[in-house]
Structure 1
Amino acid sequence: MTKKLTVDDCHVRLQIWDTAGQERFRAMAPMYYRGAQAAILVYDITSEESFTDMNTWVEELKKTMADDMVICIVGNKVDLAANQREVTVTKAAEYARQVLGTECPVYEVSAKEDDGEIEELFLQLAQILVGKKYGHEIAWKQPTSQLLEEQDATTISKSTCC
């Protein structure tokens, strides 16, 4: 899939390769991300195993890609019931800080019921990549619609900060 965006009068083409994180694609994955400037790693918020499996991909990218590669993590399936959640935003944000060494926001989206968060993610990623190309430091902005840590067992509040 190719996504075309315009950022500060620069035309950006994002090539998106979905390997579904499956083991059978692992050997082919380096062909897809060779020369990549960014990676978006997606996990299922209702699956702790999916979140943990992301470590393998992070390590693979760190071994084979440039140190300044932009890596962003995204939780998917926020459309499912709150009681199905196994990975909190707080846990994912802590992972990003510790493992990726960055303060990038943790996006949470629903591929099924996209409310614009996915487009926002692609746009921010493109802005950061264009900024890097021209030597400008551009920080991640907090997602405009972000699920936060559960307040109790049944309630999740919406906020623009994580």
Structure 2
Amino acid sequence: MSESRRSLTGADLRGVLLGGRYRLEALVGAGATAQVYAALDLRLRRRVAVKVVHASAPDDDQRARLMQEALVGASLSHPNLTPVLDLGEEALAPDDARLYVVMLLLEGETLRQVILGGAIGWRRALALVQHLLAGLGALHRAGVIHRDLKPENCLVIRQGGR
């Protein structure tokens, strides 16, 4: 079996090729249901983030919900949401099919890292909450409920020196 077609059931997916175009390079985050990798889109020659759902995570209803949420996410354009670029499923065996969601790769810190970094002034705290609520509002207007909202899943990026 080639490097890109090895079993995806292992913890380390670096080097795996998904959808014939997304080469997973480095693990950037992991949770109860998925791992997020920095990856290279070989077709467009750009770096992306790829969220790969664990093989044991979704049942059929969860799988359908995840796919629907990714499709809705792809239709949204909001400055406080990470853009969804692609959605796929990689079947390496009948019992090992993985959903994956390709997103824009953003550089920043998690809200947890910002909080642990020390005191946050009230103006910055207010701005962070406003950005968070604006993104959640956009999701809710589209009928999506974020099912895993926590500081580790909120990315704080700096734009324009802010």
| TM superposition score normalised by structure 2 | 0.28
Structure with the higher helix share, 1 or 2: 1
| TM superposition score normalised by structure 1 | 0.28
Structure with the higher strand share, 1 or 2: 2
